[in-house]
Amino acid sequence: MERIQSINIERINWCCADQGITLDELASETGVAKASLDRLMEGENSLTFNQLHKIASHFGRGVLFFLEAGPVNEAQAHSPQFRTLANQKPELSFKLKALIERVEKQRDVYLSLREDLDNVDRPIFTPPELPAQNPQEAARITRLWLGLSETNNFETYREAVEAKGILVFRSNGYTGKWQIAKENPILGFALYDATCPVIVIKKLAWDTQQSFTLMHELGHLLMHRESSIDDERDMYSYQGREREAKAFAGSLLVPNHYLAGIRDDERPDEVSLYDSWLERQKRAWGISPEVILRRLLDSGRLPQDRYTAYREWRTQTVMPQREGGSRAFRNREPRHVFGDVFVRTVFDSLYARNITLNKASNYLDSLKIKDLRKLEQYYAGL
C-alpha cells in the first residue's frame, strides 16, 4: 500500500503536546501501530493515507495540515476565542479543548448553511445595549429583549436565547465527542462572536440546574462581550465579572416582582425543607431552589448562615440517580445537543439541495440515515 510522503512530523508532535498525549497514547486512540509512528519520527514514509486521516481526525485537523511545511502558527491553529478560554482555565483537559474546537467548527457549518439559504430567515444576533456595571438593570432589559413569559423551563429559556441569534448547545449525556464528562467541573462556556455567539451547557441530572448556567454565560456575552468558561466555583464567585454575571443571571431568572410573591413568614426552620417550600416557584420558573435562595440572600431577606446551612445540606445530600436511558431515541439527540435552530437549518439546506444526505448526517452527529429520517418525521409531526 502506498505511503504518504513529506508528512510534517513537527506538526504531529505539536498536536500531541497541545493535547497532552504521548505517541503511545496516540497509537492506542487512533489504531495506528506504534511501530509505524516510530518509523515516521525517524524520517521514513511509514503512514498510509487512511492512517494519516485517522490521526488528523483525532486532532480535529485536515490531512493537509500535516502535509504543509513549516512549524504551526498557533494564532492560526487556534481561534482568539479558544485562546481566551485556554488562558482562563490553563488546566483544561485535552478532551474539553477538542470539544471547544468542535463547537467552533459546528458554528462555521451553521453560518455556511445559513448563508446559502437565501429564502429562509434566520435569527440575527443584535444585542441590546446594557449597563455592565448594573447587572440588575441589564437583566431587566434582557428579559424584555428575550420576551420571556412568567412561566418557563430550560427549553423555553433556550428557545428565547436561540431566537436572538445565539446558538445554544447542550453536551450529550452519553460518552462521546459531544460530552463534558461528569467528573469535569466545567458547567458551561460561551464563545463570543459578533455574528453568531455560541453557549454550551453541560448536561446535568435536572434541567433546572442548567437554566442558571445558560443565563450566566449569556451575561458574559451581552454585558462583557467576551468568551468565558465557568465551573461551579465561578458560579458562586463574588469577584469582578463573575460576580456581575452571577447577579445578572439571578435577576433575570428571579426578577424583583417574583421575589415579592415569596413570604418570609412561611420559610421553614429546617433547611432540609427549603426545597419543598419553594417547589411551586421552582416548577413555574424552571430553576433550582438554590437560585431563588441566592436571590433572597442578595436581597437581604435570607440570613447568610441559613443559606450556608442549606448549601452544606445540599452538598451532603445524596440525590437519586436518574436512569441513563437506552438510546431508543437516538434520532432526537441532535436536537437536544445542537438545538432547534441548528437542526432546522440542516434540514432546510437538505431540502434546498444545498447539501447531500450524507452531509446532513455528518452535521447531525453522524446520525444514521434511518435515524435521520425519524428525526425528519419528528419535525414534520408524523
CA proximity to 324, closest of 212, 200, 175: 175
Contact 1, 51 (CB under 8 A): no
- Which 3 state secondary structure label does DSSP give 331? helix
CA proximity to 258, closest of 156, 150, 157, 141: 150
Distance CA 1, CA 163 (A): 51
* Residue-wise pLDDT tens digits, 52-102: 999 998 888 889 999 999 999 877 888 889 889 989 998 888 889 889 999
Residue with cell 491553529: 77
What pLDDT score does 381 carry?
A: 74
Which triple of cell numbers denotes residue 189? 462556556
Q: Which residues pair with 170 in a beta bridge?
A: 201
What pLDDT score does 319 carry?
A: 59
Distance CA 191, CA 300 (A): 34
Contact 133, 139 (CB under 8 A): no
Distance CA 52, CA 76 (A): 21
Distance CA 193, CA 368 (A): 31
Q: Which residues pair with 228 in a beta bridge?
A: 190
Residue with cell 419543598: 276
What are the 10-residue block averages of pLDDT along the chain, 382 residues in total? 88 89 92 94 91 90 92 85 90 88 95 88 92 94 97 97 98 87 93 96 90 97 96 86 94 95 95 96 95 95 96 79 58 94 96 95 94 90 64
Which triple of cell numbers denotes residue 325? 436511558
Distance CA 272, CA 147 (A): 35
What pLDDT score does 167 carry?
A: 98
pTM, to two decimals: 0.88
**342 CB burial (10 A radius; 0-12, 13-18, 19+):** buried
What pLDDT score does 120 carry?
A: 75
What pLDDT score does 328 carry?
A: 63
Residue count (the chain)? 382
Contacts of 352 (CB under 8 A, 6+ apart): 116, 117, 120
Contact 12, 65 (CB under 8 A): no
Helices (H), the chain: 9-19, 23-30, 34-41, 49-59, 74-77, 80-88, 94-116, 135-146, 154-162, 207-219, 232-235, 240-253, 256-259, 274-277, 279-285, 289-298, 304-316, 333-351, 357-363, 369-379
Q: Which residues pair with 200 in a beta bridge?
A: 169, 189
Please give the C-alpha separations between residue 105 and each of 79, 191, 260, in angstroms, as whole numbers.
Answer: 11, 12, 44
Contacts of 62 (CB under 8 A, 6+ apart): 56
